[in-house]
Amino acid sequence: MTGETEAIIVYVSLSLILGVYIYNRLHLLLELRSKNKDETDEV
Amino acid sequence: MRDVSHAVVPLITVGIIGTIVTAILGFFWAPAVDSNSWNAPEAYRIIYWHVPFAWVSFLAFAILFLGSIFWYAKRSDFGWVMVTIGSEMGLLFGLGVVISGPIWGAAEWGVPWDWGDVRLNTYALLTAVALFLVMSMRSQPDGEETRDTLAAIGLFGFILVPITAMATTIWRNRHPGVIIIETEETGMDSEIRLVLFLGAISLMVLFAGLVSLNYELHSLRKQISDKESKIDEESMQ
């Protein structure tokens, strides 16, 4: 056992965590920007 | 609040590209370590993300600490925003460390965790503090009392940062010691050092992007809330 599989598991796990977090936050950012624009039009 | 929206996407993009390049170089370019000295020599390649994740998490806990001080000193929204961003970033990068470490430990030591190792346990506690803060912020009503309590936990929780950082020097047990300072024991190949620094810089850029992103989210929420209040006031008149 050289540990190569474990290294791959680490990179895949951390990529998933970072990827999901960044996707979620960017999605929320777009949603809030659009909502803010709508509210500005309303005001 | 300052407008940081223009910096969000470039910082995140550069950070992600650098982080991916680090992983590729770590796997295919960085040299292997001495297979006689390590039980699972290839598993060492996790350090290119594991170590920068840990460094960046300390930056996050520093933001949490400074935010807590600002909150107590000035009762400013900016201080509280720093507390919320610091705890969320501390949890994100702390989880990365707490997940990658035991996978390496299982390969190298044969066990994923050592309950007698100070660094492992203080770091896990630090991440648990961040988890507690994030969950509390999402479940408790926002108000001065909640902010006071959580900022106090952020303030005192920061004590774990220097303890964790110095743990391998003072009580070195299983966790490898400091690897950047050059000594006879920790001599590091220049290619390994280069990839490690690229990983650290890339994750710091990504961290800066995520902090800016969260800052803008807070700013937008505040703007929307102010506008909604204004609309409500106008409709009441």
Q: Summarize pLDDT for A7-23 with one digit per residue, the tens.
A: 999 999 999 999 999 99
Around B36, how many Cα atoms within 13 Å sit in the side-chain half-sphere?
Answer: 0
Q: Look over chain B and give the mean of its residue pLDDT values, rounded to a whole number.
A: 88
pLDDT score of B33: 83
Whole-number pLDDT of residue B3:
66
**What's the whole-number mean pLDDT along residues B56-83?**
93
Given this model, what pLDDT does residue B180 score?
57
In this structure, of B1-5, B48-52, B214-218, the range with the lowest mean pLDDT score is B1-5
Rounded to whole angstroms, the Cα distance separating B60 from B95 reads 12
Task: Determine the 3-state secondary structure of A1 from DSSP.
Answer: coil
> Which of B46, B131, B204, B161 shows the shortest CA–CA distance to A14?
B46
Check residues B40 and B143 and name the one with the higher pLDDT: B143
Gap between the Cα atoms of B29 and B199, Å rounded: 14
Closest partner CB to A6 (pick from B40, B95, B220): B40
Where do the domains of chain B lie?
1-31+189-211, 49-175
The predicted-structure confidence for B155-199, as pLDDT tens digits, reads as follows: 888 888 888 877 766 666 677 765 655 555 556 788 889 999 999
**In chain A, what residues touch B49 (CB-CB under 8 Å)?**
10-11, 14
Q: How confident is the model at residue B149 (pLDDT cuts 50, 70, 90)?
A: very high
**8 A C-beta contact, residue B10 and residue B208:** no
A40 touches chain B (CB under 8 A): yes
Question: How high is the pLDDT of residue A43?
Answer: 65
Q: How far is CA B171 from the centre of its chain?
A: 23
Task: Please give the ipTM for the structure prediction.
Answer: 0.91
Q: Residue B141 pLDDT > 60, yes or no?
A: yes
Q: Are A5 and B192 in contact (CB under 8 A)?
A: no
Residues of A in contact with B210 (CB under 8 A): 21-22, 25
- Give the pLDDT mean for B73-95: 94
Q: Scanning the structure block, which residue is given the tokens 């507390």?
A: B83
**Does residue A13 belong to the interface with chain B, where contact is any CB pair within 8 Å?**
yes
Helix count and strand count (H, E) for chain A = 1, 0
CB pairs under 8 A between A and B: 102
Nearest to A10 among B49, B95, B231 (CB): B49
Position B112 scores a pLDDT of: 85
pTM of the model: 0.89
